[in-house]
Structures are given as C-alpha cells and as structure tokens.
Amino acid sequence: MLDQRPVSFSGVQPSGNLTIGNYLGAIKNFPEFSEKYKCFYCVVDQHAITVRQVPAELRRRTYETLALYIACGLDPQKNTLYVQSHVPAHTELAWMLNCFTMFGELSRMTQFKDKSARHADNVNAGLFTYPVLMAADILLYQTDVVPIGSDQKQHVELARNIVDRFNQLYPDTFTMPEPIVPKAGARIMSLAEPTKKMSKSDENENAVVRILDDKDAIIRKFKRAVTDSGSEIRVADDKPGVTNLITIYSCFTGKSVEEIEREFDGVGYGDFKIAVGQACAERLAPVQEEYRRLLADKAYLESVMKNGADEAAYYARKTLSKVRRKLGFVNL
C-alpha cells in the first residue's frame, strides 16, 4: 500500500568522504523529514561513473555512504534507503526523459562545465546527460520536495522544466517537485577560500572538514582556517571567513548568530577557531562511533540495501507503468 504523505527524495554520490558541508547542509536535517514526508534516500552510484572509478573503491564507498546515512540518524524503518543501481527503473526513465530534454538546457548546466574542465580527457556523454538521470531519480517517485544545497537548484529547475514539457503533452503524469534549501547551514564554505563552497573533492585537505575526521584533525584544520582583517567576531559581507565559522558554530551548537557574537565579544580569532573545532568534533563523535559499528556489519547493510531497493522498486513501477502507457509502449 502506498504511503499517502508527500514524498521527499535525496541522493548522494559515493564519491569520497562526506564533509561537514554535506552534513550541515543536508544530511543533518534529513531525520526530521521522516515525520512529515515519505522519504527516499539514494546512494547514487550510477552518477559516480561519469568520471572513472576504481571498481573495488566504488563498492566500498557505497557501503560507507549507506552506513554514514544511518549513523547520521536515518532510521531504515522510517525511511527508504537504497542504492540507485539496484533499481533499474532509474535508468529506464532517464532514457525516456532524454527525449524530452533540450540539448541547450544540458549545455548550460554549471556542473557539466566544471567537470568538463576538470576531466578534459573524459568528457563523455554521461557527463553531459547525467542531469536527466538526476531528474529521473526525482520524478520516478512523484517527488514533492527535494532537500538540496543552494548550488543544486539548477538541477531541480531542469527536472521542473521536464515535468512542465511532459505534462503538457501527457497531462497528470509527474508531480512538480519543489526544492527545499535549509535556512541555516545550506552553504558551508571552504576553510581555505571562504568565498568558495566546501567541496569533498577539494585537493587542499586543510580546506575541508570531513565527517569522519578525528578530533585532532578537525581542530588542526579549524586552527588553520582563513579569517579576515580586524578582530571582531561578527557576521559581515567583508568577513567571509569569520561569517563561515559563525555559521558552522551555529549549526553545531544551535546558538543564534546574536548569541555567538555576544559569547565571543572581545575574544581573539585563535580562541574562536578552537571553540568551533571542539564543537564540531564533539557533535561528530557519536556519529563516527555508530558509523564504525555499522560498517563492521556488512550483512546488516546489505539487508538495508535489499529492503530499500524492493520498496523503491514498488513505487517506481507505478510511475514507470504510467509513463510507458502514455508514450504508447506495450505493457505486458
């Protein structure tokens, strides 16, 4: 029986150790969604192969990403957790949606331009069309909301364009998805370049704090974080480094910007950076402990994958059957 709640969909690539930007911008907020929404959380391993992968490493990171999802508070009993390649309907729908997506739309996608520049020796068709697979991920479950970082709006907009185009020809096929950007922590910036988003693919390890970094590494990275001229700890346009640290501290402690500015009034940047590092390390410690426990139980993780894939496929079949029928395919 289909759950009648609105649907939320989110996916993360198993392409490296997730950062506190991934955690604070998205994953940390996921558990509360399960009370209001029917939630699908997908490890999007098929997106990962737009760049060359070492097969054994991709498999390992798939387990690790699933374990990290659960360790961060996603209960498999309340959410559908699964691996994208275990539900073939994703790629089947993606082909159909390719035929309703314009070449010009894909050529304007920012991430295609960025990845093409970084992987100039492998600008493959998948790299160009993967936003259509992302649209299929979303539309397959008649998704109402997509929790995203602010930099992902372009992908949801493409999905919305496809829905509009498809539904005009074949009414009432897809639900129009809405992006949800969390109010706090939606965009955590690099510790080395605070005008640039923190990225798990950053080659400068001091720029990135990862969810699984140990306490010493976390504090060391925050100590080295770039700050600004002056000495006041306050949010300001001309203080991107300090503003980023305040945002991170606020997300980990729940304190408002005003409370933080009062707490650290007259305190130097050095002491403030240590305090941010300690707050981060303390909050991540139980996540890391649970992650290690889960990763040691491969059979459990595979049972979560299997149950999640079965449930996701049940919902996906309903959409796929409708799309096939409307396009004129013969359903057996």
pLDDT digits (tens, 9 = 90+) for 275-312: 999 999 999 999 999 999 999 999 999 999 999 999 99
CA contacts within 13 A on the Cβ side of 220: 8
How much of the chain exceeds pLDDT 90, in percent?
72
User: Do the domain assignments include residue 47?
Assistant: yes
User: Do the domain assignments include residue 332?
Assistant: no
Position 28 confidence tier, pLDDT thresholds 50, 70, 90? confident
Marked catalytic residue, from 200, 215, 255, 326: 200
Residues 24, 185 contacting (CB under 8 angstroms)? yes
Query: Domain range for residue 256?
Result: 205-291
> Do residue 14 and residue 154 come from a single domain?
yes
Question: Is 115 among the residues known to form the active site?
Answer: yes
User: Do the domain assignments include residue 156?
Assistant: yes
pLDDT, mean of residues 220-249: 92
> Do residue 116 and residue 164 come from a single domain?
yes
CA distance 98 to 133: 8
Residues 45, 84 contacting (CB under 8 angstroms)? yes
Query: Given the structure tokens 């997106």, which residue do they identify?
Result: 47
> Do residue 57 and residue 101 come from a single domain?
yes
Q: What is the pLDDT of residue 1?
A: 62
Q: What is the pLDDT of residue 208?
A: 96
Marked catalytic residue, from 28, 113, 153, 197: 197
Q: At what angle do helices 89-98 and 125-139 cross, to 10 degrees?
A: 110
Marked catalytic residue, from 28, 38, 115, 239: 115
Going by C-beta distance under 8 Å and a sequence separation of 6 or more, which residues neighbour residue 104? none
What CATH number did the domain enclosing 222 receive?
1.10.240.10
> Do residue 224 and residue 310 come from a single domain?
no
Question: Is 197 among the residues known to form the active site?
Answer: yes
Top pLDDT among 92 and 182 is at 92
pLDDT in tens, 175-219: 999 998 766 555 799 999 999 989 888 889 999 999 999 999 999
Residue closest to 38 by CA, chosen among 92, 87, 78: 78
Q: What is the pLDDT of residue 149?
A: 67
Question: Is 78 among the residues known to form the active site?
Answer: no
